[in-house]
Structure 1
Amino acid sequence: MTKPIETSKEGLPPLTKLLLEMGPLILFFLANSRPAYFTPWIGPLLPAEMSADHVGIFAATAVFMVATVIALIANYVLERRLPIMPLVSGIVVVSFGAMTLWLNDDLFIKLKPTIVNCLFGAILLGGLLLFNKPLLPIVFGSVFQLDEEGWRKLTFRWGVFFFVLAAINELVWRTQSTDFWVSFKVFGMTPITLAFAIAQTRLIMQHSPEDEAKS
């Protein structure tokens, strides 16, 4: 039996983690649909001149940036560390959000999910192909244990899945309205990701040390 790769079992309570992850996304959706409620707070971040049909997405972008930074700070205060995925995603949110507002072009915030998913997909698959090392436990900060074969399989699946998410994002923002894309980003991508994660349960159970010990 191969030695399991151990990961930290400490972490935030599930509800707190969900709030920190979904909070900025929910505010992103609300600010896009009701920008008037948010512009008094984030007005200085918005472009001096913008067309009426861009007010929502620009307000949403500014709110998303601020909420993401607050979520990262809260995460650090509660855990005394910053998980890799939220940190990298937060950096891209702030960077591409700033370009969106500075250049008065919502293309950059729409590209953010594509860039982040391609980045994580490249890291996971690159680690397997170039260094023969499953990087998923490092990237995810997982709270469970798997043997090496299990981590390799799971890393490969998630690496491919990240590229699929990137392709879906490209398809949606290029073919649908901005409002549809915002709604899909919040209420479409999350269920898709959750469904994929749940679908990996059998693999996780097959390669967990506890199950191997019982067999």
Structure 2
Amino acid sequence: MKSVLEIGPVALFFIGYLLLRERTFEIGGTEYTGFILITAGFVPLIAVSTFLLWRLTGHLSKMQIMTLVLVVIFGGLTVWLNDERFFKMKPTLIYLIFGAILGVGLLQGKSYLRMVMSEMIPLDEAGWMKLTQRFCFFFLALAVLNEIVWRTMSTDAWVNFKTFGLTAAIFLFFILQGRLFQEHGTQSKD
């Protein structure tokens, strides 16, 4: 159920976009593209999904809360101003914020990533610092990549990139950390 609540809204956004991307709608004398209408539906959907996730688990991560806030702000601006650029900027801001937070922690000699993920990934102190550095640079690279894609490519290309490209990049990033997990893992080896 948790996975459905986390992945479901993004999957529904993608499906809705595919169904409505070629259409425009007139509402109250203003024309809206399918992208704008799907964004208008996505904002309350992510809010309800996040609320249900909180009810199910009893807590939300800072990342989930920040994502919700940015979706509401940038999704709201997209619909209100009838301008899809705001929603396309959202991933850039999320990645910049996360990269900056991790960078500030690194400058203080701390791994803020460890505070969030220590239960999921057992690493020693050096491993956490290396992983935090890598995540910091990875988030900053994703921010730059999102900017390049949405500013130079079609909305179709951006939606595909956002739905599949970023997901694949995160998956690949974790796979490439296998050696770090082996060298710095603290789990007992049986």
User: TM-score normalised to the size of structure 2?
Assistant: 0.89
Alignment of structure 1 residues 7-156 onto 2, 5 Å:
16-35=1-20, 48-51=28-31, 54-129=32-107, 131-140=108-117, 142-156=119-133
Q: Which amino acid aligns with 2:92?
A: T
* 1:196 maps onto 2:173 in alignment: yes
User: For the Cα contact (< 8 Å) 1:47–1:101, is it kept in 2?
Assistant: no
User: Aligned pair in 2 of structure 1 residues 138, 49: CA closer, same or farther (>3 Å)?
Assistant: farther
User: For the Cα contact (< 8 Å) 1:128–1:152, is it kept in 2?
Assistant: yes
Q: Distance in 2 between matches of 1:209 and 1:160?
A: 24
User: For the Cα contact (< 8 Å) 2:67–2:94, is it kept in 1?
Assistant: yes
User: For the Cα contact (< 8 Å) 2:37–2:79, is it kept in 1?
Assistant: no
Q: Distance in 1 between matches of 2:67 and 2:52?
A: 15
Q: Distance in 2 between matches of 1:136 and 1:80?
A: 21
User: For the Cα contact (< 8 Å) 1:31–1:59, is it kept in 2?
Assistant: no
User: For the Cα contact (< 8 Å) 2:98–2:136, is it kept in 1?
Assistant: yes
Structure 1 portions without partners, runs of 5+? 1-15
Q: Distance in 1 between matches of 2:29 and 2:166?
A: 31
User: For the Cα contact (< 8 Å) 1:23–1:67, is it kept in 2?
Assistant: no
Bigger mean CA offset, 107-116 vs 71-80: 71-80
Q: Distance in 1 between matches of 2:114 and 2:49?
A: 22
The higher relative CO (CA closer than 8 Å, separation ≥ 6) is in 1
TM-aligned CA deviation for residue 26 of structure 1: 1.0
- The match for 1:157 is 134
Q: Deviations over 1:53-86 (max 9, x none)?
A: x522112212221221122112111110011111
Q: Distance in 2 between matches of 1:81 and 1:96?
A: 24
Q: SS in structure 2 opposite 1:133?
A: coil
Q: Distance in 2 between matches of 1:50 and 1:140?
A: 45
User: TM-score normalised to the size of structure 1?
Assistant: 0.79
Q: Distance in 1 between matches of 2:103 and 2:27?
A: 39
Q: Considering only aligned residues, what root-mean-square deviation do their CA atoms show, in Å?
A: 2.3
Q: Deviations over 1:185-205 (max 9, x none)?
A: 101110111111121122122
Q: SS in structure 2 opposite 1:27?
A: helix
Structure 2 portions without partners, runs of 5+? none
Bigger mean CA offset, 109-118 vs 181-190: 181-190
Q: Which amino acid aligns with 1:59?
A: L
- The match for 1:179 is 156
TM-aligned CA deviation for residue 160 of structure 1: 0.5
For this pair of structures, how many residues does the alignment match? 188
